[in-house]
Structures are given as structure tokens and as C-alpha cells.
């Protein structure tokens, strides 16, 4: 399966790579440098985000101003950076996409999406203020009553599943942690 373009050149020495199985007991084809021998492993990426909720239960969604899924609604989320923890990344994305003042809560969902080699993690979050200041990645940031969530206009399946499970838990009076495999 090709999730991402194959690595063609070595990031260490710039030589061409070739697809080969490293001789250390590995079983998969890797991009191996024909010059220095460096093995370029490719592994899933983490997407981190949160479910920002006002004290009266409204949920913050952002209308995407970027591809993919331009114009669709999402929970604030994005790729984790190298120098941060998962919850720090979720907080940063929420600041960048919505300019929202949140108090980060606990982990809510971990969703594996092997088809695109990603793991999505969403945290619970409390919105401290209704003042929003969306950045360039967001056309509009808005608070939705659960009944008004635009289910048909959500950007990603991981977002709709997380919202669905969150609202079910809330209705049942107990917020759980959800480990989901989207295969």
C-alpha cells in the first residue's frame, strides 16, 4: 500500500535509495540508501485534536479553509510536531485553528486509520471563553448545540465518530475512553 510517496533520496547524504529488506531481521521493504546504507523507515503519523465544549454543552467546530476537505467542518486537530506531547499538540492546533481559550481535559478517543497510516487522538477540553479568533486555516469557528451539528458536512470520519461517541457518553452520563480501529 502506498500512503505516501516513496523516499527516493537519502536525507543524510543525498544518494539515491533502493527498496530492499534490511538484513537485521526486518521483513519489510524499506528505502535503503545506496551510498551510506541508511534505512529510511516510514511510520504512521499522529493527528492530535480536541473536543472543546462550553460549560452549557455547546461544541466548537471549525470550517476548513485548507485542503483536503475545504469548506467542511472539523474538530480542531492537526499533525503532531516533533517537540511536543500529544495534548500540547492538540492545544496548539486549537489555538491555531480557532484561537480558543481551553482547559485541556483527558484523552477521549484513539483511532487507528491504517489506510492512510495515521493515528488520530482526541482529548476532552473545556472552553473557558466564547471569544474565538480563527487563524488562516479556518473560514469560520462556531459553537454548535448537539442537535445542530452538521453531520453531513463533517470533514473526516474520525471526527464524526468522536463526536458521535462523545454525545452518546454524555447522554449516558459517563465519559469513557474509546479505542477504535477504522479498517
Q: Which is nearer to Zn ion, 21 or 177 (CB)?
A: 21
Compute CA distances 129 → 34, 63, 73, 119, whole Å: 55, 19, 20, 29
Q: Which stretch binds Zn ion (CB under 5 A): 19-27, 30-38, 138-146, 152-160?
A: 30-38
Least distance between Zn ion and beta carbon 8 (Å) = 12
The partner residues of 77 in beta bridges, in order of sequence, read 49
Element at 33 (helix H, strand E): strand 30-33
Q: Which stretch binds Zn ion (CB under 5 A): 5-13, 83-91, 128-136, 151-159?
A: 5-13
CA dihedral 183, 174, 62, 118 (to 10 degrees): -30
Q: Which is nearer to Zn ion, 24 or 56 (CB)?
A: 24
39 contacts Zn ion (rule: CB under 5 A): no
Nearest to 52 by CA among 169, 142, 174: 142
**What is the C-alpha to C-alpha distance for residues 79 and 170, in angstroms, rounded to an integer?**
27
36 contacts Zn ion (rule: CB under 5 A): yes
Q: Which is nearer to Zn ion, 19 or 145 (CB)?
A: 19
Please report the beta strands in 66-168, taking only residues with DSSP state E, as ranges in sequence order. 73-74, 77-79, 102-113, 118-127, 138-144
In the set 3, 6, 8, 12, which binds Zn ion (CB under 5 A)? 12
Q: Which stretch binds Zn ion (CB under 5 A): 3-11, 88-96, 116-124, 173-181?
A: 3-11
Q: Which is nearer to Zn ion, 33 or 47 (CB)?
A: 33
Q: Which is nearer to Zn ion, 13 or 177 (CB)?
A: 13
Amino acid at each position: 500500500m502506498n500512503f505516501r510517496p516513496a523516499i527516493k533520496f537519502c536525507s543524510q547524504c543525498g544518494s539515491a535509495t533502493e527498496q530492499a529488506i534490511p538484513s537485521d531481521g526486518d521483513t519489510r521493504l524499506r528505502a535503503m540508501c545506496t551510498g551510506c546504507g541508511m534505512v529510511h523507515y516510514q511510520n504512521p503519523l499522529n493527528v492530535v485534536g480536541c473536543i472543546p465544549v462550553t460549560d452549557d454543552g455547546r461544541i466548537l467546530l471549525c470550517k476548513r479553509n485548507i485542503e483536503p476537505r475545504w469548506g467542511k467542518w472539523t474538530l480542531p486537530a492537526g499533525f503532531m510536531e516533533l517537540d511536543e506531547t500529544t495534548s500540547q499538540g492538540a492545544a496548539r492546533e486549537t489555538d491555531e485553528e480557532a484561537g480558543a481559550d481551553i482547559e485541556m481535559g483527558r484523552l477521549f478517543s484513539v483511532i487507528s486509520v491504517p489506510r492512510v497510516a495515521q493515528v488520530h487522538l482526541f482529548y476532552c477540553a473545556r472552553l473557558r471563553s466564547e471569544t474565538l479568533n480563527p487563524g488562516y486555516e479556518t473560514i469560520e469557528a462556531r459553537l454548535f448545540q448537539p442537535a445542530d451539528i452538521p453531520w453531513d458536512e463533517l470533514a473526516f470520519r474520525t471526527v464524526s465518530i468522536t463526536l458521535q461517541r462523545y454525545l452518546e457518553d454524555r447522554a449516558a452520563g459517563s465519559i469513557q475512553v474509546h479505542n477504535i480501529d477504522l479498517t
